Structure 1
Amino acid sequence: MCGDSATCSVSFEVLVHNPLNIFHVEVAIEDVNDNSPVFSEAALELEIGEWTVPGARFPLEMARDADVGMNAVLTYQLTSNPSFSLALRESSEGSKQPELVLERALDREKQSSFELVLTAVDGGDPERSGTVQVRINVTDLNDNPPVFSKGVYEARVAENLPAGSLVLRVQATDADAGTNGRVFYSFSNVPGTIRALFTVDRDSGEVRTAGPLDFEEKNKYIFGLEAKDGGGLVSHCKVQIDIMDENDNAPEITLLSVSSPVPEDAPAGTVVALLNVKDPDSGENGQVSCELEFLSSAPLNNGVLVPATPCVFFLP
């Protein structure tokens, strides 16, 4: 129900009569482990130079699990091979980055390629898993992967930016020359919702808006980008985009209860109407005041400063 949000709940209000009152109800939705880890590609292609020193590490694509909490905690396994092992590097957010570790020098003349299977396993009970093939081509040229200038790129942008607006630019360099030193940028295993809102230029690394950003719908986006050189080596980085609120929503008024007609001998303080006023904007943009304008000759003064709270109108 709530996508990849860490918490999920449904809230509503209950109106009770005699006496007139309103109660707020919030129902917490608990996650079940109904999604398996998935990789964006059916196979991962790597190019490793035959003179690469043992101990060298090559980042592999991380799987994505739509569940949350323990159901989304991923670990990885690699099929056994004397030339390679698997290492897991934990990021600052707690996710684990799988890395292929070269255990011994490669000889292209003896074996020019390897095929391994990388398995991602979640923390559910029972656990679920997903796999991807890792295809390794041995070469003697491209032994330097691209290196991003930052591990995490951050930006703050206003909502309702027009499509095509520049958000930020990522940059990676590669120590190799020629084709093996040319870097291309792309998304790294991101859901379709991200691709509908952002684009990344293959050559420049510029991230631009592709669709409307709505603070009220989501105020933060975190996704991965990858840099791949001409020989197939890949590096990854994170992008975090914070959306700033604009006052683009008018208050919404809901009539919860009304007493009509009102007896002429009703005492002062009699409740005549109960309304709910909400504004989905945040901060001062979401703060509303209630005022009642009468079309009679006897104006009444009432109203309360109440963001997303019932307004009660009564006889003075």
Structure 2
Amino acid sequence: MMVHSFWRQMARTLLRSVFLILWVTLSSTADVPDVKDDHSPVLHRQKRDWNFNIFFATEELQAQDLPQVIGTLVNSHSNENTEFVIFGEGANDIFKVNKTGQVSVCKTLDRETKDSYKLTARIRDINSKTQLDKDTQFSVKVQDVNDHAPIFEGELKASINERSPRGTAVMTVRATDKDDPTSPNGRIEYKLLDTDYFFIDKKTGQISVATDQLDRETRSQYTVTVQASDMPYVSGGRTTTTEVTVNINDINDNVATFKEGTWQFNVNENESPLFTVGKLSVYDPDEKQNKNPIFTLKDHSEIFSVELDDENNGVLKLRQGLDFETKPSYTFLVEVREEGVVQPADNVVGSRTSAQVQISVKDVDEPPVFTESEYSFNVSEGEMKDYIGFVSAKDPDTTKHRVRFSIVNQDCPAEINSETGRLSLKRKLDREEMDTHQCQVTAQEMSVNGLKSFAAVKINVRDVNDNPPELDTGREVYVCENDKNGTVVGIIGAKDKDVTSQNFRFTLVKKSTNFSLHDNLNNTASIVLTHGGYSTDVRNEVSLEVQISDGGRPLLTKIQTVTIKVCSCQKDRQQEFCQAIAQTGVSFRALISILLCIVTMLVIVILFALRKHYQKETLVALGKSSGEIHEQLVTYDEEGGGEMDTNGYDVSILSSACLRPAPGPPVYAVAKKPSACKGDMAMMIEVKKDEADHDRDGIPYDTLHIYGYEGTESLAGSLSSLDSSSIGSNVDYDFLSDWGPRFRTLAQLYGADVSDSDSSY
């Protein structure tokens, strides 16, 4: 019926077109008389020159069917002496016109490329080429033929949840056709091939579920063939097919069920908490995200627990340790359930939601068990206690071995009785050094294996008020030259190593005429100027002795000196220049200087003793006693030519001292130079004798022997005090010059240039 209706519609359209052409032709060829009288009351219709508007050409004509006449140009001036010419799109190429006005298409057209052409027609005389009428425009419409098949667009994949109700939309497919959409050539209808689970809307292409029994566990994916056809219900139409993939999404429509009805496990009694006893596997055909079992223990939930593993199966774990001697076995039920399951569940029939668990505890040799994992005891600092507490441990096995205690840490301040576990102090403790001591105690079985265990012991040292308060040196106290009476020149504070006493009080030991002390009752005190007038040009000593009490039990006090500086200040007491006007105690540098001086004096005394010792040994070697030399001063300031010089001196006297036996009396010889006694030498000797007699600081001498000249080859050797000095001491005193300006004088006396300074004597 639909086919006949289509042909009837086509016939009516064709008849309308024929009727329109006939009407236009008749209207254009009718003679209309000319109006000769402009004032004639009768109106006459003017004759038209051109009688056409639109031509139609069919696309996709084959070469053997070309050229093809598509229409005729009609003009009232047309005769055997006229011709038609066309201009515009495709003129004289795609479209051509002959002398009589017939327009033909000469090439194959494609409506999908260009669906219309605009042309201009002209009529002229053949011979003179004179234009006989105005140009007129006309169009050539390209008529569509069904030369294109539908084409599908987009990604042809979709998904839908299992158990979706019938009619639930899955997706919409869309196909396009390049043919004219207003004609049957471009109209498309859809159809599904070979499926009972989905249907499609033939106009819109929407695919929907045809059943509510989709089950992912049965089938998780469907491939649907979709057909798109143009020219529906007319033979000769074009069709296209494609495949659409539909994935079935999982939902939680299955319950978890135990795979076994009874589970048996063996566990050693020494296993620690969180130990995995075993795996309780469950079956759930849903995907992992929809597999959410919940396990419940009917008994012994304080000892065991069930957790989920990576596959959402149950894992039985220990929550606390087991003891074979107390309970050797456990039996309890475990139930499993799952929330949020779509009902009715697919596997509800035959599911197992509970199982029995049997656990056997295996006996093992265990180490001693302490009553506590960590012991804590308190002691007061400074006390020596022979008892601070007990630790206790027992063998949990049936053998009940005796236990011996010991302390692992060598620096632990406590010691333990190996039999009883009694703890006592080895030394007094000081909280200020360390307030907490950590020790590790071990308990070991007195058996062949000797298993041992450990426990921590913490000794907390309680504070005792055993440290006096001290002045807080971080605060600065100074008085400005322009300070007025009543100005607070500084605030002092205190600190205490103890923690039990922090209520400090401040008082002045001695009353001051220039300053007063005000206790602020907040662990600070203010120093107030009562009489000013200080200047940085005058050095004044200002210091206050402050007594600080800590308020503890027992009450401890301490007296400390507060030093006040004098400063020149700007506004708001900003310091410009300060002068320390009081110093108490001895600084570290001063103490070092004092010690260096003491050491230097000791070194000097030792050097003197060594020098005397070496001088004495030298005199003994020369055959003279120390008494003979110490009581005589031998002075010379001129040296002769030696033993060969016999004209000026009698050197036999000098050598007689070495040749004379030791027990005999000392021989004192005076070498006289005959020509010198009455000249410069005699005068020099007298001067030297006079200087020795009037030298109050010098050592008294019984006799004075002066040698003016000495030979270089004397058998007695040189009696010069310079040589004696060098022989008597091997110490080099030049290092005294490196000790600084304080030892400059000492360096000059005993340094390398001493001989030069003493050469005049």
TM-score by length of 1: 0.43
**Quick check: which one's strand share is greater?**
1
More helix by share: 2
Larger radius of gyration: 2
